[in-house]
Structure 1
Amino acid sequence: MTEPRYKLIAWDFDGVLNANVQNGVFKWMTTFEEDTGLPIDSLANYLFSGRFQQAMVGEADLHELVGSWAAEHGVPHRAGEVIDYWFDKDHIPDEKTLDIVQRARRAGITNVIATNNEVYRADWIEEMGFGEHMHTVFAAGRMRLAKPDLAYFAHIENALGHGGKDVILVDDMAENVEAARQHGWDAFHFVPGCHDALAAKLGLSEG
């Protein structure tokens, strides 16, 4: 049997394993206002002006942030309802990517999720079954580190004992791909329709 090209594949979640990003916009944001009657611009401006970034690395609580927004804008919905809508609407598994994951597992390669999600969504990722495909899930909120910080990649190396060119990051963000390469890993920039190229890069093409 041919030796696998990589010992460890670190998979980004949003936009790679989960096909919820279209033209740089998360799916839930395109339907939120129509489905809930709540103002998406208000929520987006409140969350993504630095507050969510704090939650992403465990320095703030997402439920508390959404709850504060709701109270500030007189929104009758509970924070949990808003977040449940967000997470559930963005549950769009990329079956083609997951098929490649299965090929990697059959080849004896260790697979992990390496995501910049905060703790609640990291739990949700596992609850939705994505974790079943993986050795483990590394999430920024649990690690208190986020890509492209090079310490993020070092944390995964130290946890699993694989490093250098034995490891490849698959990510849809160019800055994360560049950071992984700077750290000494290989990396693949995931873009729509790249599944065959990805499988070839990983040495997992069919036939």
Structure 2
Amino acid sequence: MLQPQAVIFDIGNVLTQWQPEAFYDREIGEERRQALFAAVDLHGMNEDIDAGAIFRDTVYEWAERHPDWSPEVRLWHDRWLDLASPRIEGSIRLQRALRAKGVPVFALTNFGDSTWEAALPQMDFLRDFDRAYVSGKMGVTKPDPKIYAMVETDCGLAPESLIFTDDRLENIEAAARRGWRVHHFTGWQGWAERLVAEGLLTQAEAGL
């Protein structure tokens, strides 16, 4: 089998942590966080943002709709960089090692358009992609088959020549149904081993 022609990374929980519950546990305590998430569908709010809704406007509108939790809801916007931290340095090293060898590296992420623009100056690794496929800009989110088709059309590469990692099984399963090679991300070391097995990096280059 030929080597993959491009490597595609998800962002949240692959290149940077995305654990909103853990952030709120630190900020307001686990008991209040559980009450907040029971009262306000914050993940549903974020899905609207990932699909293209304006970041600040959406969060602040939800805060107004839930006056008992307004300050806590607004944290989703006001402290977003803390919410999406820390970076997963092992994965970032893999991203950069691939590019240093001339392997095309893409992002495919459920990420709001305005959120992405706000994050670019703060997260330097977001600029280290040959192509970035951002759901908020595309108007469709993973695991909708349309988003994978849009990637194929834009990059011009055959599905079997793409290898994609994501922490969510439903996202990689959708990619696999289109013929992509996939890796379920559970840690950077496993992803590094897969890239070595595909012949894209040596063990030393992968940090193993």
With normalisation by structure 2, the TM-score equals: 0.80
Q: Structure 1 residue 182 and structure 2 residue 177: aligned?
A: yes
CA, structure 1 residues 44+18, in 2 after alignment: closer, same or farther (shift >3 Å)? farther
1:200 aligns with 2:193: no
Higher mean displacement: 163-172 or 128-137: 128-137
Describe how 1:1-207 pairs up with structure 2 within 5 A. Answer: 5-21=3-19, 27-34=22-29, 41-42=35-36, 45-48=39-42, 50-58=44-52, 60-71=53-64, 72-73=66-67, 77=71, 82-127=76-121, 128-192=123-187, 193-203=189-199, 204-207=201-204
Q: For the structure 1 residues 103 and 26, does the alpha-carbon distance in structure 2 shift closer, same or farther, using more than 3 Å as the test?
A: farther
Q: Deviations over 1:118-162 (max 9, x none)?
A: 123222342221222111321111101111111111111111111
Given residue 62 of structure 1, which amino acid in structure 2 is its aligned partner? F
Say which SS state the counterpart of residue 53 (structure 1) adopts: helix
CA contact (8 A) 1:57 1:145 kept: yes
User: Would you tell me which structure has more helix in proportion to its own residues?
Assistant: 2
Q: Assess if the C-alpha contact under 8 Å between 1:140 and 1:146 holds in 2.
A: yes
- Which whole-Å deviations, capped at 9, do the CAs of 1:66-96 have from their partners, x for residues lacking one? 2123323156749765413132342311111
Alignment check: 8 A CA contact 1:32 1:40 kept: no
**SS of 2:7's equivalent?**
strand
Tell me the secondary structure at the aligned position of residue 187 of structure 1.
strand
Give the percent of matched residue pairs that are identical in Structure 1 and Structure 2. Answer: 21
Do the aligned partners of 2:94 and 2:192 also contact (CA within 8 Å) in 1?
Answer: no
Task: Give the partner amino acid of 1:63.
Answer: R
- The CA RMSD measured in Å over matched residues stands at 2.9
SS in 1 for 2:87: coil
Change (3 A) 1:125 1:161: farther
Separation in structure 2 between the aligned mates of residue 131 and residue 170 of structure 1, nearest angstrom: 16
What TM-score results when the alignment is normalised by the length of structure 1? 0.81
Instruction: Give, in angstroms, the shift of residue 102 of structure 1.
Output: 1.6
Letter in 1 for 2:117: D
**Contact kept? 1:63, 1:79, Cα under 8 Å:** no
SS at match of 1:113: strand
Give, as a single letter, the amino acid of the residue that structure 2 aligns with 1:150: P
